[in-house]
Chain A
């Protein structure tokens, strides 16, 4: 395929500079091995995640437009974000800016007022997984794998916003029953909406075995309510972890720092309460790729993970 470009603007997001450092580090490792280049977006700001949009509409448009403008300044028309929340926010802004001229003009005027270059063009945002799959793909992963993840049974957890909603993520809408004309913004590179498989394919190429994980692979983890609505989050995480465990998974592979944090936090709480079958640890898919590419557990910062996947990996002789 190869339509996104091998050199893109990299929007890590706040989380990856702090608590999710492991994801940042391992993403860079994986990208380097796969021959892809990430251009760090200088002086970016928070995307507003899933929270700010409930407080202010124009505010979130502006926050994301500022980041887009920075990307344009660095000469990019593609932004890649490793976080479901960030890619969602940027894609949401992209949707409203593209489909509503009045919003676009207003945002540009406000950007100028705030001392930021107005947008000459709206850059497109991709989730990093989509980019890895499209630009490198399983073939390349297979070539680069030096230490296959043999015997590791993985449950691939995609979370909500990687493929949803099709308006923003530009996936195909299976269930919506819409015809081609109704979806002019659909993107060829996008993953399957209800049955995403990009992470499965990449990790399988790295030697791992995927376990059956539907429909929990896209079940919400509590997301923006992880802290404010604890009972709901706890139940959702319980459903996810138990499905993984009962389907025989050794580890859950994640691709979003928010999902990851939520899974790890509530896993611990559930274990303290004595809930059965919830003790599957979680690791970022890039960490697993890094291990397969021959990097050590310390290189991909496996010790940063609160759920501690090291014992499982050690048992299988992978770390």
Chain B
């Protein structure tokens, strides 16, 4: 297989020789740079098929590698060049799982801005495909816990449980997950803001404007934090949701 991808050539495989003689011909100078060949035989073509069979990933094979998605991607442009949606699609289709695994630490960074999907000339749902690749990897145990996955699960748990989310719970629950000690009231077991450990920025963020805020707004949010807003006819539906998620293997 020809190498199309510069990023697939590790620095260790690039060799520069002082003097190089091949078949009796001295090719030193411009020609003294060698890339040692690599034989890839551990690719897994089922991987691409598995992505293709998910509802989100079914457009993966339409990709013709033009890289418009990557050129549009803010994570690629403003944060980390290693984040490259076109490349992830390429690797997934070839089934080069070890290479994908090397990039797991950036793959989760997608902020779902959908510039890629919007601009793709071939109608690939790029963002969905990247998420599908991640999901398949997680299913196979190839992707560890990463921050956004933790948050996604935490969020979804709240939706499934109550039918609605609540901003205070999300914020303080997340802070707690980050290792801050959040103080909870003994009866309802709800976090009480600013009594326990709170990041400095959050304290300042709320303390300064809180003085000028309407009291009814503060009371409303306090009420929501204590008594989580709920969807009424939710219980039966919740069970169906849980069942569906169980089938998808989304609960662990």
Contacts and interface: CB of A to CB of B under 8 A. Distances in A.
Our verdict on whether A and B bind, yes or no, reads yes
Interface string B119-161: 1110101010001001100000000000111111101100110
A242 to B, nearest CB: 13
Interface in A229-271: 229, 232, 235-236, 239, 261, 265, 268-269
A284 to B, nearest CB: 14
Interface in B65-104: 68, 72, 74-75, 78-79
Interface stretch (A133-141, A143-151, A205-213, A301-309): A301-309
B205 to A, nearest CB: 5
A229 B79 CA distance: 12
A57 B64 CA distance: 26
Interface string A284-306: 00000000000000100101101
B113 interface: yes
Interface in A48-90: 48-59, 62-63, 66
B148 A304 contact: no
Contacts of A43: 231-233
A48 B112 CA distance: 14
A44 B237 CA distance: 12
Interface in A158-217: 160-161, 163-167, 173, 175-178, 182, 193
Nearest to A224: B112
B190 interface: no
A193 B114 CA distance: 12
A227 B170 CA distance: 9
A243 B203 CA distance: 27
B205 A265 contact: yes
Main secondary structure of the interface of B (DSSP, over half): helix
Contacts of B236: 114-115
Contacts of B1: none
A14 B79 contact: no
Contact of B156 (A51, A160, A175): A51
Contact of B229 (A18, A173, A229): A18
A176 B55 CA distance: 22
B156 A62 contact: no
Given A45-B234, A225-B111, A227-B171, A56 B239 contact: no
B237 to A, nearest CB: 4
A175 B119 contact: yes
Contacts of B237: 45, 62, 66, 114-116
A255 B193 CA distance: 28
Interface in B185-226: 201, 204-206, 209, 212-214, 217, 220-221, 224
A56 B121 contact: no
Contacts of A304: 213-214, 217
A96 interface: yes
A19 B167 CA distance: 7
Interface in A7-64: 14-15, 17-19, 21, 43-46, 48-59, 62-63
B62 to A, nearest CB: 12
Given A176-B119, A301-B214, A18 B54 contact: no
Q: Which of A223, A227, A269, A301 has the most chain B CB within a 10 Å cutoff?
A: A227
A298 B112 CA distance: 35
B49 interface: no
B50 interface: no
A220 interface: yes
B14 interface: no
Contacts of B244: 56, 58-59, 62, 110
Given A48-B159, A219-B74, A304-B214, A63 B115 contact: no
A304 B32 CA distance: 67
Nearest to B215: A303
B16 interface: no
B27 interface: no
A123 interface: no
A124 B150 CA distance: 32
A51 B114 contact: no
Contact of B155 (A21, A44, A49): A49
B248 interface: yes
Contacts of A57: 54-56, 248
Given A55-B153, A227-B174, 14 more contacts: A18-B229, A19-B167, A21-B220, A54-B134, A56-B244, A62-B241, A164-B113, A220-B111, A222-B111, A227-B170, A228-B147, A229-B111, A303-B213, A306-B205
26 contacts: A17-B164, A18-B229, A19-B168, A43-B232, A45-B237, A46-B164, A51-B152, A51-B155, A54-B148, A56-B250, A59-B245, A110-B244, A113-B240, A160-B114, A160-B115, A161-B114, A163-B118, A166-B118, A173-B119, A175-B72, A225-B111, A227-B151, A229-B111, A236-B111, A268-B204, A304-B217
Q: 8 tightest CB-CB pairs across the interface, nearest first?
A: A220-B113, A165-B117, A114-B237, A114-B240, A51-B155, A228-B151, A165-B118, A56-B250
